[in-house]
Amino acid sequence: MSDQTRANAPTPYHPAQGNVGFYQRNRDVQPAAFTAIYKTSTLRSPRNALLSLPSCLSEFTGPVFGHNELGALDNDLIRNFAKTGDPIGERILVHGRVLDENAKPVRCALVEFWQANAGGRYRHKNDTYLAPIDPNFGGCGRALTDNDGYYFFRTIKPGPYPWRNYVNSWRPAHIHFSLFGTGFAQRLVTQMYFEGDPLIKICPIVNTIPDASAIERLIAPLDLNAAAPMDLLAYRFDMVLRGSRSTLFENKLAGN
């Protein structure tokens, strides 16, 4: 790593050095654990009342990630799996900020992402959708937020795909995210959708979220100001860790 890269690398944040603890979870804005339109939620729903457990110090003070842990192409899904050329599909940039419940940037947050290829197929042994595997696209990567909570990555816009919920069910194009903030209690797993996709409003998973404004926070708007002319379009996706305006994900309460 060059001296200039080290100078620009985000400074690790240790919550134990300042105020520890996070706001209580706001259950009123969360999707119900069981939603009839989403069949898989039947198996995921708890059978008994939830237990409230006190948080421990380790949930507030870790994990801590450093710039040296990332590879040079970790945030470039166009190139990080390419073997014989660029992957097929629409080239895009996804960028945004990771904020806490007080709208302050979360620096050194590990942002992991994975997705289907342009045809709507994942590079996974359990994905048997008839769309072909792209030999030059792996579909996963990671980035670390800078001191302003900013992250970005290049990728191929994923395609929609069918799934076995009810007859002719299709998932909108989406990208999965996993975030580690300043503590394990801030962990978030979510999805990003694309502005203008007509499948969003009829998706059973999206519709497990009862709050229309929360659904809007999952939809990334087109951002021409960040697009690269004659190269790629850009979408902006900001995420909030914990709090009443946190980014949600279907009926899972991971990190929220």
Structure tokens at 3: 């001296």
pLDDT in tens, 68-86: 789 999 999 999 999 999 9
pLDDT at 10: 59
CATH 2.60.40.290 fits 23-44+54-241, yes or no: no
Q: Distance (Å, rounded) from C-alpha 125 to C-alpha 131?
A: 14
pLDDT in tens, 213-231: 999 999 999 999 999 999 9
Q: Distance (Å, rounded) from C-alpha 247 to C-alpha 256?
A: 8
Q: Which of the two residues, 24 and 108, has the higher pLDDT score?
A: 108
Q: Annotated catalytic, 174?
A: yes
Polymer length of the chain:
256
DSSP structure string for 136-153 = T---EEEEE--TTSEEEE
Q: Annotated catalytic, 122?
A: yes
* Annotated active-site residue in 95, 142, 154, 171: 171
Parse the chain into domains and list their residue ranges.
23-44+54-241
Q: Annotated catalytic, 176?
A: yes
State the pTM of this model. 0.84
| Contact of 159 with 131, CB cutoff 8 Å | yes
* Annotated active-site residue in 121, 154, 176, 242: 176
> CA–CA distance from 190 to each of 180, 194, 251 (Å)?
12, 14, 10
Q: Is 53 helix (H, G, I), strand (E, B) or coil?
A: coil
Q: Annotated catalytic, 124?
A: no
* Annotated active-site residue in 13, 38, 151, 161: 161
pLDDT at 52: 76
* Annotated active-site residue in 13, 95, 97, 122: 122
